[in-house]
Structure 1
Amino acid sequence: MSIEDREDEDGEAGINPQRIISAVRRRWRIAAGIACSTTLIALTIALLIPNRYEASTTIQLDPRKKNVANLEGVVSDLNVDTAAIESEAEVIRSRQILLKVIDRLDLRNDPEFHRAGFIERLVLPLSSSETKTGIGEHATEAADPVVPRRDEFATAFARNLKVERVRNTLLLEIQFTAADPDKAALIANTIADVYIHQQLAAKSEISETATNMLDGRLDALRKKVSDAETRVEAYKAEQNIFASEGQILSEKELARLMEQTVEARNRSAEMRARFERAKELRSSGRSTSAIADVLESHTVRLLKDKLADASRRRAELATRYGERHPEMVKVRAELGDAERQLEGEIASLISNLENEYAEAAAREAELLAGLEGKKREEANRRAANVRLNELEREAETSRQIYQVLLARYKQNAATQSLQLPDARIVEFADTPTQPAAPKRKQIVILAAAGGLALGLALILALEFATSGIGRPEEAEGLLALEHISSLPRFDYANDEPDDPLRATRLMIAAPSSGFAEAIRSLRREIDVRQIEPGPRIILIAASLPGEGASVVASNLAHYYAQTGNRVLLVDADLRRSNLTRQLAGRRSAGLAEALAGAVPPEHAILRDQLTNLHFLPATGGGPVASGHAELLASAAMPRVLGRLKGQFDTIIIDGPPLLPVIDTRVIADYADQIVFVMAWRRTPKQLARKAMKLLSVNADRIAGVVVNQVAADVLADDNGFELVSDKSDLEPGLAA
């Protein structure tokens, strides 16, 4: 991937677990310090907070029917469902219940529940001073302690109360918190007791209200029933409607009259039939005996028996005597006398039948006339009875309603004092032995965890807030180059930390240090990337000043010289000449004079007797005749380098910074290998990318990137072991 493609990626995307772990290992003291501080503060606060005790009372909502009295429709039992249970919990938390508890226990005089708050404690002295100085409307009155109003007190009191449903049960748990454990238990039990009594009071109030409503309704219905019955009786009297044993009197008379008429008709018909039969027999000349058979009379039967006896005796005497015999005469006389008596009796009976028939006919006519009149009266009565029935129905309806409400009234009045609550206490609150708050252990644990989290967040913020790279290997992804080495930073134990000579000769001063070992590793990486064998020019380049490119070039050159190579270190920074000031001391000529043709390049080279390192300073100390870039870009530059290349195995050039000046880009055209140096966490990623773009035309010669001034603990994380340092001379820390 090219450096141009890398510019489109977010430079902070290199966050990974390994980098986070490394940051924590390097900065763990920050997290530990913050965690210890927050823990100590939390512990102090927790110890200063007074203890609070929580007591719990459990009540059960009882949905079972109570059969003490049937009050259904007046006071119904509690319908227990989720909404009802939550509603009862809110009732317990209601201001009405709490105020009753406060009044019963006289808690308004308890300092725990009306202790002045922070603002009140500030305002109270001002109010007192006004009272003492006579300022204000009530200046003459004594200053009373601040006592909150009932609603404010109830609100403050409610903060200590918690009512919760025990999951999937009909139980409600009343929890109250107070500074005194006995007080907490007393208040929790009192709240439950007041709630149950409130239920009873509510039921009694509803029942009493229903009784009063029924009483008023009964009075109205009683008058209505009385008025309806009065109208019924008045109408009966007006219409002459009377009843006997549940039956109207006119109906009885009509029925009795009809019965009498039927009987009279039957009697008249019977008399008429007997009279006409007897009259017919008599007119037809039938014998007296035949007529007597029709007439049903005891006298007639006796006379018939007498006549029959006389006839029988005459027949008997006729066989013995003649007609003139006295017995025969006597018998004939008796027979004639009997016939006359029978004839007379029959005539009398026929006359009586005629009279009886006439009387029966008259009676029938009389009854028929009376029946017709009574029927007319009954028709009129039935018409009136329609209105009577309507009045009686109204009266009966009013009477039934009155009876129902009267029964309900009697029942409600009788059972008004037998109310049972829909809840009961199943567990009273005991005096708590352990405080419920503050939870000191949890506070300390949470404070420690919070402090640790804050410390870790601060570590990560510090780690990722820098514009530079956090881990050396990030340079590969940032610049699309191989990361060939990471160089640690050091403090000096015996010399001044800013000793420039010591920094450029660390390979000599501390050959056993981690920095020296990193230089050795860097040389190997450069050597294996050498494309063509033979003498070569290695350019050490960096984006900005202060990234340690001169230190890297000097120590790398010293190491090459230690191994017996003919090595030339060239300070090509004609503007700043830092390496020249650190290594050359007195000099009469340098690279600038050699390029200008003032001296041969061999005459400007200095040699270190100890390491056999050859050094070409930037200048001889005088002013440069022409521009720096022009000298480096002149035809003399390749000629000088070519001449020197024939005399040395390795030429290491310390180039000026890439971004401020163009000099290094000119030198890069003559280099066989280029090593790019960037400072750990200091070189901005965007500037590093920009510097690499400037070297893009010589990208094939770039051996890789070196991350300089890396913290020792970061390198230890990467390498898995601690860096070795020469304790007599160096200590890990500040950048070389």
Structure 2
Amino acid sequence: MQGSHEQFEDEVSGGGALSLDRALSAVRKRLKLVAIMPVIAALIMTAVVMMMTNRYDASAIVQIDPRHKSVTNIENVLSEVKTDTTGVESEVEIIKSRPIILKVIDVLDLRNDPEFAKPPLTSRLLAKLGLGEWAPAVERTAQRPRDPIADMLKVDEPGASKPKSDEVADAFMQKLKVIRVRNTLLIDIRVSASEATKAARIANTLAEAYIKDQLDTKMQANATATALLEERIDSMRIKVSEAERKVEQWKAQHNVFDTEGQVLSEKQLTRLMEQAVTARSATAEAQAKYDQAQKLASTGDSMSAIAEVLQSNSIRVLKDQLASARRKAAELQTKYGPKHPEMLKVNAEAALAEKQITTEIGRLVASLKNDAEVAADRERQLAQNMTQLQQQQVSTKDSSTELKDLEREAATSKQLFETLLTRYKQTAETQGFQLPDVRIIEKADAPQFPASPKRKQLVLISAVGGLVLGIALAVLLELMAPGITRQDDIERVFDVAHLSSVPSAANHDGQLAPAKAVRIVVAEPASLYADAIRGARRELDMRRASAAPRIILVTSSVAGEGAEMIASNLAHNYAMTGGRPLLIDGDVRLQPLTRQLASQRQRGLLDQLVNQHPLDAAILRDGVTGLHLLPAAGPKPLQASIPETLNSTALADGLAGLKTRFDTIIISVPPLLPVIDGRILADYADQIVFVVAWQKTPRQLAKTAIKSLGLNSRKLSGIVLNDVAPEALNETRGWPRGLLGGKLGMGHDGPAHYAA
């Protein structure tokens, strides 16, 4: 204990550290508070949610269609929407863009809808305070006075208020949520409104406005492209005409045109080359036929094998006549002789036919010769003409290069013109055949149940929050409580032993007769109170320095903490166990024990000290328990200085003499702080018991009282926690509530019988 009182200065007057068992104890101690907070929070939230406006969420889902869509096989001006992450997220932002939202606002006339045209909270507060006015968005411009000149010129004044489309759009955007459905090509358009049908109507209108905006964008792009192409085509038409005119002028100047518009020398040379090849083939063929005929004639072979002979109709007729004459001669030969006129006639016909055949073959051979000569002459002539044209072509080569450049430029310009013209016609034709790249796959239906407020969840959450708040308040109150509530508080804050936790001695009515209160261990020896006193006695006995007689001083910080009850019951307990205790009422000012235990006394401690009489003469004895009592004073008031009297050698000598007669002397003294009496009597004590009231005695007050003992604080054996609620008795020891129980038992409930 030495030096322990110095650290009291450093202790915090709060509740100290918080442990789990202490928190649970705080909750059990303030269970009503913890139980009522969820109810209050739930009731308040119920009232709040009943006043909240229902919000309905309607959802329309659109899909970005990656499939190519085209009425004609013509490429569109705008490419299709990309289906990668960037493309889909871009479409999400387009749906949420202000232009599309403003279109929906105009279509549904949301500027006149109070839900969307409601002014900002600051404007409403200023209007209620009389510091401003607010009008619906469509009326704000009308309420502002305008300059007549500006009206005539149709010019807005500087700073003139326009319909607050932005405010309505901002309110709209707060009720709009557009998200991509996971990693798909689906986009969820979710709108919140106070009416289910309104929410569905807005969601569907927004989806349709988005699709229409996409179509309008495509058509606008087509129209822009058509206009640009038309302008470009007009300029290209002029350029092509100019290039063709230059080509025609050059050809006219150089006289190189024919009916097909080609350079004459080049065309003639080409034709001559083709004719020369044909003539060369014809010459070779004619010469070959003629050579064959000459060869057959020189060898004496029959000329009838020549193709022209075989193909000649006249020779074929003559051969038929020759064959007929020979056949007829053969027939007549069997009948007539060679000289027969018929035979001669037939032979003459045969000879004539042979002669005619020979003549005809000769004519054909002459014709072959003539054909060969004519073909050779034609070949020579064509070769001469081709040579002349080649020479002419070389001479005009340099001048034709310029023509080729002009023709190439004209052809390029014409090709570009035709390409632009084709694209222009395609773009113009596809103007009315645009298809969107998205489609609505699920239209929004009016929801049957509101999405918010979630009343049940809010009430449940508020109840849970109230419970948490109740627990927090209980723990906070426990930490902020100035009094001592637990055994570990005593050991931590004061650094002294906890002797016992004594339950409240009040009965069911909250009152207890004072005469019974000072001797409960006698009246109810089986009670929790008596058990607590026995525990305190055991702790004191364990802490006594020796077996020699001792003086135990029982005190407290201020009055009302029950120190005199503890002292009396402790003394009675010593008496009931066969000891030789003496109870001294050291509070000579108020005399609480004297009034309850020895109302018929004749003298007391103060009388003996003032009159210099032995203390033994004033001691009384209880006939029931055998406890000896030294009253504080007699019934007659005495004129004496109490501090000086208590500090006299007479008291010291008297107590020394009493130690020879009694083994335990218990002195109940006044509180330490109001008067000095207790601090004086502490000089005579061997052990000091300090009593604090449960949840009542402030920590700092108790520390101040202990500090006032000075060096005598080392005699402090421990602290008794008094007046503990029975249901919290175990908690003061750090045990669960209800672990132990006890009922008051009956003992000697009669009055004390003290006599000399």
TM superposition score normalised by structure 1: 0.69
Match of 1:640 in 2: 654
| Residue pair 2:265, 2:392 contacting (<8 A) in 1 also | no
Matched letter for residue 448 of structure 1: A
- Equivalents in 2 of 1:423, 1:727: separation in Å? 92
1:381 correspondence with 2:399: yes
1:565 to 571, 579, 583: 579
Against the structure 1 CA distance between its residues 419 and 256, is the aligned structure 2 distance closer, same or farther, given a 3 Å change threshold?
closer
Q: CA deviation at 1:515?
A: 2.3
| Residue pair 2:77, 2:218 contacting (<8 A) in 1 also | no
1:549 correspondence with 2:563: yes
- Equivalents in 2 of 1:12, 1:667: separation in Å? 32
Deviations 1:590-649 (A, max 9, x none): 444545563322234344555544333445565664561x55454444322111112223
Match of 1:487 in 2: 502
Map 1:322-721 to 2 at 5 A: 378=396, 381=399, 385=401, 394-493=409-508, 501=515, 503-508=517-522, 510-573=524-587, 579-580=593-594, 585=599, 590-595=604-609, 598-608=612-622, 611-619=625-633, 622=637, 625-626=640-641, 628=643, 631-658=645-672, 664=678, 666-689=680-703, 691-692=705-706, 697=711, 701-717=715-731, 718=735, 720-721=739-740
Deviations 1:268-327 (A, max 9, x none): xxxxxxxxxxxxxxxxxxxxxxxxxxxxxxxxxxxxxxxxxxxxxxxxxxxxxxxxxxxx
Against the structure 1 CA distance between its residues 412 and 612, is the aligned structure 2 distance closer, same or farther, given a 3 Å change threshold?
same
- Equivalents in 2 of 1:462, 1:45: separation in Å? 28
Q: CA deviation at 1:231?
A: 4.4
Against the structure 1 CA distance between its residues 407 and 664, is the aligned structure 2 distance closer, same or farther, given a 3 Å change threshold?
farther
Against the structure 1 CA distance between its residues 635 and 253, is the aligned structure 2 distance closer, same or farther, given a 3 Å change threshold?
same
Against the structure 1 CA distance between its residues 707 and 254, is the aligned structure 2 distance closer, same or farther, given a 3 Å change threshold?
same
Matched letter for residue 466 of structure 2: G
The more displaced of 450-459 and 718-727 is 718-727
Q: CA deviation at 1:481?
A: 2.7
Give the SS at the match of 2:487: coil
- Equivalents in 1 of 2:633, 2:73: separation in Å? 119
Match of 2:312 in 1: none
Q: CA deviation at 1:688?
A: 4.1
Map 1:147-162 to 2 at 5 A: 149-162=164-177
**Aligned-CA RMSD value:** 4.6
Map 1:113-262 to 2 at 5 A: 149-234=164-249, 248=263
Against the structure 1 CA distance between its residues 149 and 728, is the aligned structure 2 distance closer, same or farther, given a 3 Å change threshold?
farther
- Equivalents in 2 of 1:125, 1:653: separation in Å? 72
Matched letter for residue 480 of structure 2: A
- Equivalents in 2 of 1:728, 1:584: separation in Å? 21
Match of 2:373 in 1: none
Match of 1:310 in 2: none
- Equivalents in 2 of 1:191, 1:371: separation in Å? 78
Q: CA deviation at 1:89?
A: 2.7
Deviations 1:407-433 (A, max 9, x none): 332222222222222221222233433
- Equivalents in 2 of 1:566, 1:480: separation in Å? 32
- Equivalents in 2 of 1:460, 1:525: separation in Å? 31
| Residue pair 1:712, 1:723 contacting (<8 A) in 2 also | no
| Residue pair 2:110, 2:117 contacting (<8 A) in 1 also | no
Q: CA deviation at 1:198?
A: 2.0
The more displaced of 389-398 and 10-19 is 389-398
| Residue pair 2:619, 2:631 contacting (<8 A) in 1 also | yes
Unaligned runs of 5+ in 2: 136-142, 146-161, 273-383, 750-756
Q: Identity of counterpart residues, as a percentage?
A: 47
| Residue pair 1:101, 1:194 contacting (<8 A) in 2 also | yes
Against the structure 1 CA distance between its residues 519 and 230, is the aligned structure 2 distance closer, same or farther, given a 3 Å change threshold?
same
Match of 2:325 in 1: none
Matched letter for residue 88 of structure 1: E
Q: CA deviation at 1:485?
A: 0.8
Give the SS at the match of 1:14: coil
TM superposition score normalised by structure 2: 0.68
Q: CA deviation at 1:21?
A: 1.4
Matched letter for residue 412 of structure 1: T
Match of 1:26 in 2: 29
Give the SS at the match of 1:720: coil
- Equivalents in 1 of 2:64, 2:29: separation in Å? 62
1:36 to 32, 36, 39: 39
Q: CA deviation at 1:652?
A: 0.7
Q: CA deviation at 1:698?
A: 5.7
- Equivalents in 1 of 2:504, 2:266: separation in Å? 137
Against the structure 1 CA distance between its residues 670 and 389, is the aligned structure 2 distance closer, same or farther, given a 3 Å change threshold?
farther
| Residue pair 1:38, 1:447 contacting (<8 A) in 2 also | yes
Against the structure 1 CA distance between its residues 679 and 226, is the aligned structure 2 distance closer, same or farther, given a 3 Å change threshold?
farther
Match of 2:355 in 1: none
Give the SS at the match of 2:658: helix
| Residue pair 1:493, 1:729 contacting (<8 A) in 2 also | no
Match of 2:323 in 1: none
Q: CA deviation at 1:720?
A: 0.9
Against the structure 1 CA distance between its residues 148 and 54, is the aligned structure 2 distance closer, same or farther, given a 3 Å change threshold?
farther
Q: CA deviation at 1:553?
A: 1.3
1:62 correspondence with 2:81: no
Against the structure 1 CA distance between its residues 240 and 495, is the aligned structure 2 distance closer, same or farther, given a 3 Å change threshold?
closer
| Residue pair 2:525, 2:746 contacting (<8 A) in 1 also | no
Give the SS at the match of 2:695: coil
- Equivalents in 2 of 1:727, 1:410: separation in Å? 118
| Residue pair 2:30, 2:474 contacting (<8 A) in 1 also | yes
The more displaced of 517-526 and 45-54 is 45-54
- Equivalents in 2 of 1:613, 1:163: separation in Å? 90
Q: How many residues align?
A: 605
Against the structure 1 CA distance between its residues 526 and 122, is the aligned structure 2 distance closer, same or farther, given a 3 Å change threshold?
same
Against the structure 1 CA distance between its residues 372 and 409, is the aligned structure 2 distance closer, same or farther, given a 3 Å change threshold?
closer
- Equivalents in 2 of 1:495, 1:38: separation in Å? 33
| Residue pair 2:555, 2:672 contacting (<8 A) in 1 also | yes
Deviations 1:20-75 (A, max 9, x none): 11221221211222211222233344344454443322222223333545676831
